[in-house]
A and B are shown apart, each in its own frame.
Chain A
Amino acid sequence: MTPAKINSGNSRKIISLHLAVIVILFLLQFVLPEYHHLTMTRIMILAIFAMGYNVLFGYTGLLSLGHAMFFGAGLYGAGLTAYHLGWSVPLAFASGIIAGALLSLLVGCIALRTTGVAFMIVTMMLAQVAYLATLYFTRYTRGDEGLVLSQASRSFEFFGATVDLTNPSTRYNLSLALLGITMSIIYRLVRGKTGRALVAIRENEPRAQMLGYNTFAIKLKALLVSGTLSATAGATFALLFAYIGSSFTTIQYSIDALLFTLLGGPGTVLGPALGTFLMFYLVDIASQYTTAYLLVTGLALIFLVLYFPKGILGTIKHRWLPWLP
Chain B
Amino acid sequence: MDFGPFLFLASLEGLVQAAVLCLTALGLCLVFGVMRVVNVAHGEFFMLGAVLAWWITNLISTHPALGFVAALIIAPVMVGLIAFCADRLILKRLSYNPEATIVATIGLLYVIQQTVLITFGADARAVNAPFYFRVQFPWFGYSGYKLLVIVAAALILLGAWFVITRTRVGLMMRATQYDREMAQSFGIPVERVYTVVFAVGAMFAAVGAILVVPIRQAHYLMGLDPLLLSFIVVIIGGLGSIRGTVAAAILIGMSDGIISVFFSPTLAKMVSTTLVAFILVFKPEGLFGPSVVNFRIYPNHKGHKGYKRHLRLNKK
Contact = CB atoms under 8 A, between A and B. Distances in A.
Given A118-B297, A135-B266, A305-B100, A129 B277 contact: yes
- If over half of A's interface residues share one DSSP class (helix, strand or loop), that class is named, otherwise mixed; here it is helix
A113 interface: yes
Contact of B310 (A63, A116, A120): A116
A135 B104 CA distance: 29
A301 B270 contact: no
B103 to A, nearest CB: 5
Contact of A301 (B38, B106, B118, B281): B106
A278 interface: no
Given A114-B298, A116-B299, A262-B103, A299 B284 contact: no
Contacts of A111: 277, 281
A2 interface: no
Given A121-B38, A136-B266, A292-B118, A305 B297 contact: no
A295 interface: yes
Contacts, number: 127
A295 B114 contact: yes
Contacts of A291: 117, 122
Interface stretch (B64-72, B90-98, B211-219): B90-98
A110 B98 CA distance: 21
Contacts of B269: 132
Interface string B244-285: 000000000000000000001011011001101110111010
Interface string A302-318: 11111001000000000
B267 A298 contact: no
Interface in A127-151: 128-129, 132-133, 135-136
A298 B116 CA distance: 13
Contacts of A299: 107, 110-111
Interface string B278-316: 101110100000000000011100000000001100111
Given A122-B280, A132-B270, A117 B104 contact: no
A301 B284 contact: no
A117 B38 contact: yes
A81 interface: no
B110 A203 contact: no
24 contacts: A63-B102, A110-B277, A110-B278, A117-B98, A121-B38, A121-B277, A122-B280, A122-B281, A125-B274, A125-B276, A129-B273, A132-B270, A203-B316, A206-B311, A255-B106, A262-B103, A298-B106, A299-B110, A301-B103, A301-B107, A302-B104, A304-B103, A306-B94, A309-B100
* Leading 5 A-B pairs by shortest Cβ distance: A298-B110, A301-B107, A302-B107, A295-B114, A292-B114
Interface of B: 38, 90, 93-94, 98-100, 102-104, 106-111, 113-115, 117-118, 122, 228, 231, 235, 264, 266-267, 269-270, 273-274, 276-278, 280-282, 284, 297-299, 310-311, 314-316
Given A114-B298, A116-B299, A203-B316, 13 more contacts: A63-B102, A113-B282, A125-B231, A125-B277, A129-B270, A135-B266, A292-B117, A297-B110, A301-B107, A302-B90, A302-B104, A302-B107, A305-B107
Interface of A: 63, 65, 110-111, 113-118, 120-122, 125-126, 128-129, 132-133, 135-136, 203-204, 206, 255, 258, 262, 290-295, 297-306, 309
